[in-house]
Structure 1
Amino acid sequence: MKSIFRLSLVTLTLLAFFCTGALAIERLKLSTTTSTDNSGLLDALLPAFEQKYNCKVDVIAVGTGKAIKLAVVGDVDVTMVHARSKEDKFVADGNGVNRRDVMYNDFVVIGPKNDPAGIKSAKTATEAFAKLAAAKAKFISRGDDSGTHTKEKILWKEADVTPAGDWYVEAGQGMGKVITMANELQGYTITDRGTFIAYQDKIELPVLFSGDAALFNPYGVIAVNPKLHPHVNYDLSMSFIAFLTGPEGQKAIADFRRNGQPLFFIYD
C-alpha cells in the first residue's frame, strides 16, 4: 500500500512539474504581412527564437494596414510590416515604440511573357504603370491596404491614373493568392520579390519591370506601446526585436533562400 502511495505521489509530482513547465511557456502575438509569411521566412526564423526564449509565437499574417490596426488596438504584442509611412505614423501617434529596420528587398511587376502593355521598355515604375493603364491591361491589385497595395496606389497617383474598369481587379487577398490569380488570368501585378521567388516555380509570369529606386521595399519591426496596452508582452517583444536585428536573426535572414535565390537582404 505504501509503495502504491509513493508511486502515486511521484506520478503526481512529475505531472505537476510538466504542467508547470507547459504553463511557463510565454506567448508572443505577432502581426505581420502575408508577403513575409508566404515567403517561408518565418519558418526559418521563429523556431530558433522560440527555443531560445522558451516561448511560442502566434502569427497573424494580413496586409500591413490590418497588421498595424491590430497593433493599434493592442490585439498583438509586436508587428513586422513594410510601409514606412504607416509605420512612422503608428509610432508618432504613440501606438508603437522601438521601431527597427529588419531587412529589405524590392517590388517587381510581373505579367504575361508577351507583355501586351509593353512595360519592359519603360524607364521608370511610373512609366510602366502609365503603360498598363493606357493598354487597359488586366491588372490584379491586392486591394487590401497592404504595404504592396500602398506602393501600388502611390505609383498610380504618380502616373496620374485612377485605375478603374474591367481591366482592373481588386482582389482583397494576400500576395500569394494575388500572384496565383494573375497567373490564371494572364494579367499583371506588383509583388515583393521575395514572394515572387517563392512562387516562381508555380507560375508562368516573369518579371517584366524592376530596378527603379521607387520600388525599394524595407521591412520594420515595432513593439506595441505598453503604456497604452499594459497587457501586452512588452519584454518578450523587445527580445524579439533584439533577436531579429541581432547577429542570429540577421544571419538567418541573409542565409534564407528559395529556388537558390535570396529573398531578403540585411543592412550593412
Structure 2
Amino acid sequence: MTLLLAGCGTTPSAGGSADKSLILATTTSTQDSGLLDELLPVFTRDSGWQVKTVAVGSGQAIEMGRRGEADVLLVHSPAAEEKFVAEGSAGPRRLVMHNDFVLLGPKADPAEIRGTGSTEAMKKIAAAEAVFVSRGDESGTHTKEQGLWSKAGATPGGSWYQSTGQGMGATLRVASEKAGYTLSDRATYLTQRDTLALEVLSEGDAGLLNVYHVIEITKKAGDRVRPDGGKAFADWVVAPPAQRLIGEFGRAKFGQPLFTPDAGADESKLGQ
C-alpha cells in the first residue's frame, strides 16, 4: 500500500491536536492530477480548516472512514461507497464531479484495440495475452477494471497480467516501461502524458464513466472523528465557488477541464 501524505509531516490520526485540522482520505487520482493542490489552499483560506490528506485507493480510503481514521472521503467507487453508507457510520454522501476512464497502451497496439469499445478491447487484450498492468489495490480504478473484465467474459491471469499494488501515477509509469496496456482516469493520464509511451486507445463509452462523491464520517465510526471538519469540507466542495474551480481545472494547460462539476445534478443522467 502506498500512502501519499500532503500537508502533514507525520502519519495522521483522526481528530489530531490542531484546533481546526481535518483528515481527508481520497484517491490517488485527485492527488496525482494536481486537483487537490488547486482546491485545498482555497478551502483553508475560506474556512480556516487545515487539511491532512491521505491519498490511497478508494477502497483503502473507505476502510479509513470505516475505522474512524478520516473525517471526510473523496472517492470514486460507487458500489463500495453505497455499501459503506448503508452500514450506518457515514453521514451524507454527495455527488461532486466526474471524468472518465481511458484504456491506454503502446503505439504498436499488439492487441489491436484502437478505436474499439471497452468490452471488445478487454476481450482482445485477454485473447492476445498482451501485457496488462493493473493497480491491483482495491481502488476505484481497480474495481472498474475488474468490472470491465467481467463484462467482457474474460478472466485475466498468468504472466501477462501484472499488478503493481500502487497508485495511478506509479502504475502508468510501469505500464509505459513494459509497453503494456492499463486503465487510467483521464486526468492523471493527461497530467503525465508527456513522460509516458502510452496512447489513448479506447475511450468514450458509457462503461468508462468515473464518478466522484464526498462522504462525511460521523462519530459512530470512532471518537476521534471530526464531523464538523468533514461537514465543512463536504459543504464547501459542492458549493458553487468550488464547483467553478473544479470546472476550470486543467483547461488552460490541456485545452479541456480534467473534471466536470456535478453537484446537484441528476446522477442517473451523467454521461448521456
Q: What is the aligned partner in structure 2 of residue 192 from structure 1?
A: 185
Distance in 2 (alpha carbons) for counterparts of 1:216 and 1:172:
23
Distance in 2 (alpha carbons) for counterparts of 1:45 and 1:109:
27
Distance in 1 (alpha carbons) for counterparts of 2:182 and 2:115:
17
Q: What is the aligned partner in structure 1 of residue 14 from structure 2?
A: none
Distance in 2 (alpha carbons) for counterparts of 1:212 and 1:255:
23
Larger Rg: 1
User: After the TM superposition, which residues 219-230 of structure 1 pair with which residues of structure 2 at under 5 Å, given as runs?
Assistant: 219-230=212-223
Q: CA deviation at 1:228?
A: 3.6
| Aligned counterpart for 1:259 among listed residues 254, 258, 263 | 254
Q: What is the aligned partner in structure 2 of residue 12 from structure 1?
A: none
- What is the alpha-carbon root mean square deviation over aligned residues? 1.3
Q: CA deviation at 1:126?
A: 1.1
Q: What is the aligned partner in structure 2 of residue 241 from structure 1?
A: 234
What TM-score, normalized to structure 1? 0.88
SS of the residue 1:262 aligns to: coil
Distance in 2 (alpha carbons) for counterparts of 1:245 and 1:177:
29
| Aligned counterpart for 1:59 among listed residues 53, 56, 67 | 53
Q: CA deviation at 1:121?
A: 4.2
Q: Which amino acid aligns with 1:142?
A: R
What TM-score, normalized to structure 2? 0.87
User: After the TM superposition, which residues 167-182 of structure 1 pair with which residues of structure 2 at under 5 Å, given as runs?
Assistant: 167-182=160-175
Q: Which amino acid aligns with 1:115?
A: D
| Aligned counterpart for 1:102 among listed residues 88, 96, 107 | 96
Q: What is the aligned partner in structure 2 of residue 18 from structure 1?
A: none
Whether the 8 Å CA contact 1:25–1:54 is kept in 2: the answer is no
Q: CA deviation at 1:109?
A: 0.3
User: After the TM superposition, which residues 10-159 of structure 1 pair with which residues of structure 2 at under 5 Å, given as runs?
Assistant: 25-122=19-116, 124-159=117-152
Distance in 1 (alpha carbons) for counterparts of 2:64 and 2:224:
14
Identity rate, percent: 47
Distance in 2 (alpha carbons) for counterparts of 1:228 and 1:56:
21
Distance in 2 (alpha carbons) for counterparts of 1:127 and 1:228:
42
Q: CA deviation at 1:227?
A: 3.2
Distance in 1 (alpha carbons) for counterparts of 2:63 and 2:221:
14
Q: CA deviation at 1:96?
A: 1.1
Question: What do residues 30-75 of structure 1 show as CA deviations (whole Å, max 9, x unaligned)?
Answer: 1000011100000000001111222210000000110000000000
Question: What do residues 101-142 of structure 1 show as CA deviations (whole Å, max 9, x unaligned)?
Answer: 0100000001011211011142x3111100000011110000
Structure 1, unmatched stretches of 5+, are 1-22
Question: What do residues 124-183 of structure 1 show as CA deviations (whole Å, max 9, x unaligned)?
Answer: 311110000001111000000000000000111111111111111011010000001111
Q: Which amino acid aligns with 2:131?
A: K
Q: Are positions 1:210 and 2:203 aligned together?
A: yes
SS of the residue 2:95 aligns to: strand
Structure number with the higher helix fraction is 1
Q: Which amino acid aligns with 2:156?
A: P
Distance in 2 (alpha carbons) for counterparts of 1:40 and 1:25:
27
Distance in 2 (alpha carbons) for counterparts of 1:148 and 1:217:
9
Q: CA deviation at 1:186?
A: 0.7
